[in-house]
Chains A and B, each alone.
Chain A
Amino acid sequence: MTTTTTNNNSADTDLLRRMRSGAADAFAALYRRHQGPLYRFALLRCGSADTAADVVQEAFMGLLTERFRFDPLRGQLQHFLFGVARNLILKHETAHRRHQALPGTDDDDDSDGPELAADDACPLVRLLDNEAAEEVRRALALLAPHYRDAVILYEMHELSYAEIADICQVDIGTVRSRLSRGRAALAKRLAGWRTTASAA
């Protein structure tokens, strides 16, 4: 795993260097390496395919224009991009909240209130064909954003607590706490669906 990570970092660094010197193929390679996970993270995080695509585009555009400057000494490019995407989504949500009166939540609030993931569409609009997958996605979409971050990064992208802490700019204890509460809220939301699915 460590060797693979080191090789990936080295390849990313080399591609970044070539990209900055004007090699379009290096930029394309970099994009193809990272767009998938980034898009999937953004899609689950915001619940809108359009917004997720915008976030991916803005993140890579920022990398291109050096609005978002990546330092290879401080970690992996993939994690850096997750952090950028998360910040872009937060910014997007903040702007969106100005137009919608949503109940506020504090950091450790385990509220089951409507923490809508989707900005321009209802999170319950079907995105996935598989029913089980779609139910989990909908349950995720209704989690509070700070729980959603931790759950998505841990369960879907298999990152460590430390990596999630780095991306979300919180300490590991907070990551552990958010993950635990997020999972509990998710289990609660899915309990009804599981019962129905079992009965069927």
Chain B
Amino acid sequence: MMDIRKTTDRDPLFDALRAELSRLETPRGVEAELLQAFARLHPPRRRRFHVPGPRGWLLAGGLSGLVAGALALAVALQAPRVEDTPQAHPLVALDESAPFIALDSAERIAAEPAPRMVAADVPRTSLAALGVPLTPENAGESVRAELLVAADGQPLALRLSAVE
């Protein structure tokens, strides 16, 4: 469709009216009402994670308390572990192949602040009381042993590493 706008033949009669009307705008209240209507039609989107209200906090606290109680009960009912008892000091069980033979009381061994391991050749005759076989042929021999020694040199326990 051809545009036949003729801007030059506008009637000057309307000049005053144009000037007067150019100052007029829609009352401000209309914009405010429209923006309110817009807000109603486009409510703000809900956040995925939102701060819960008092009831939410109450529920969350209750659930957390229940879980914590159940965990505490489970831990309390669990049997104590051997390693946690003072009688079962870990030094005795260092070697899985052979057990240590205590030469002193368990309390003394457990109370020793700085025990150390020492390898030594012990005469068989000294070990006969511990059940080491002793015959006239091997009576002069020695047995390789590991000794758990206290800081003052006192032997606390012994483990035979090679008994023939």
Contacts and interface: CB of A to CB of B under 8 A. Distances in A.
Contacts, number: 107
Interface string B16-39: 111111101111011101110111
Interface string B63-103: 00000000000000000000000000000000000000000
A124 interface: no
Given A22-B42, A53-B27, A160 B3 contact: yes
Size category, A interface: 35 or more
Nearest to B30: A57
B5 A43 contact: no
B16 A132 contact: yes
B30 A56 contact: yes
Interface in A25-56: 27-28, 31-32, 35-36, 38-40, 43-44, 49, 52-53, 56
B107 interface: no
A156 B33 CA distance: 28
A71 to B, nearest CB: 16
B30 A161 contact: no
B14 interface: yes
B41 interface: yes
A77 interface: no
B163 interface: no
B26 A36 contact: yes
Contact of A133 (B10, B17, B41): B17
B1 A162 contact: yes
A102 interface: no
A155 B4 contact: no
Nearest to B44: A22
A159 B7 CA distance: 9
A46 B17 CA distance: 16
B2 interface: yes
Given A22-B42, A136-B16, A136-B17, A40 B24 contact: yes
Contacts of B51: none
Q: Which of A24, A38, A159 gathers most chain B CB within 10 Å?
A: A24
Contacts of A64: 34, 37-38, 41
Given A53-B29, A57-B30, 11 more contacts: A27-B34, A27-B38, A28-B35, A35-B26, A130-B19, A136-B14, A136-B16, A156-B17, A158-B5, A162-B3, A183-B11
Interface of B: 1-7, 10-11, 13-14, 16-22, 24-27, 29-31, 33-35, 37-39, 41-42
Interface of A: 22, 24, 27-28, 31-32, 35-36, 38-40, 43-44, 49, 52-53, 56-57, 60-61, 64-65, 128-130, 132-134, 136-137, 140, 154-156, 158-163, 165-166, 172, 183, 186-187, 190
